[in-house]
Amino acid sequence: MRCTTSLLIAAVALLLAACVLSPGKFESDLTIGKDRSFTFRYQGEVIALDPTSAIENMPTTGGEKDSAALAAEKAEKAKKEAERDAKYKAMVEAFSKEKGVRKISYAGDGRFMLDYEISGTLDHGFVFPFNTDAEVAVPFIAIELRKDGVARVKAPGFVGSARESPIPGMGSLGGPNGTAEGTFTIRTDANVLMHNNEAGLKSEAGRNVVSWRVTPLTKEAPVMTVQFAK
């Protein structure tokens, strides 16, 4: 019990310290070559989900508040909202320095517009987004390298209402209906070992193509495992 409580406290601390990001309306694709080359692209909205704001907006019990208490509460709320906006604008500056960010802007109310594209070689894992300056720790997509030239792609951010908080009882990170809405496509000429798309593989210019349509009701994250040429 003591260990479970300690882990819960640590999880709460991590979630409150980090900024939890969720896709909004987006288009994203990943190209993986059998030679380990890759290109990842994301265009669209990124929404900052502030756990502290959710906690502050939870209903409270107690008697009616007088006008002075209500005014003080309103002023404190406005102050915290201004502080969050300042933090989000600082995040834009931090992200703009990151390789792959072609354009990013803050649209207000925790909403960013992002144009991101990066290419490289999969001789190590890849995670997006991750920025220590912006304190971002929850990825939309992760590519894990395994033994025998195998790579596993999973996109835990590309789900809707099922994107649950890592803290029990906190509910969905995207709200009751989620925030993610768009399409995620993987193109590869590597050997596809598995994927979880019911529509199956399609062929396009010598590559296998799998495309997932993500809506606020999507419950299963896109997954694919490929094997590179030896």
Give 10-63 as a DSSP string: HHHHHHHHSBEEEEEEEEEEEEE-TTSEEEEEEEEEEEEE-HHHHHHTS---SS
Is 151 part of a structural domain of the chain? yes
Q: How does pLDDT run across 62-99, given as a tens digit for each residue?
A: 556 677 777 777 777 777 777 888 888 888 988 898 89
* Span of 43-47, 78-82, 154-158 with lowest mean pLDDT: 78-82
The share of the chain scoring above pLDDT 70, in percent, equals 73
Is 209 part of a structural domain of the chain? yes
How many structural domains does the chain have?
A: 1
The two structure tokens encoding residue 138: 């929850």
Is 106 part of a structural domain of the chain? yes
Q: Note down the domain range covering 163.
A: 18-58+67-227
Cα distances (angstroms) measured from residue 45 to each of 22, 213, 214:
9, 16, 14
Is 6 part of a structural domain of the chain? no
Q: Are 21 and 179 in contact (CB under 8 A)?
A: no
Q: Assess whether pLDDT exceeds 60 at residue 200.
A: yes
Is 198 part of a structural domain of the chain? yes
- Arithmetic mean of pLDDT over the chain: 79
Is 154 part of a structural domain of the chain? yes
End-to-end CA distance of the chain: 48
Q: Assess whether pLDDT exceeds 90 at residue 51.
A: no
Is 196 part of a structural domain of the chain? yes
Q: Taking the model in full, what pTM does it have?
A: 0.78
Which residues neighbour 168 within 8 Å (Cβ) at sequence distance 6 or greater? 8
pLDDT at 72 (0 to 100): 75
Q: Assess whether pLDDT exceeds 70 at residue 60.
A: no
Q: Are 104 and 112 in contact (CB under 8 A)?
A: yes
Q: Which residue intervals of 66-221 are DSSP H helices?
A: 67-96
Is 4 part of a structural domain of the chain? no
Q: CA-to-CA distance for 9 and 74, rounded, in angstroms? A: 29
Q: Are 2 and 19 in contact (CB under 8 A)?
A: no
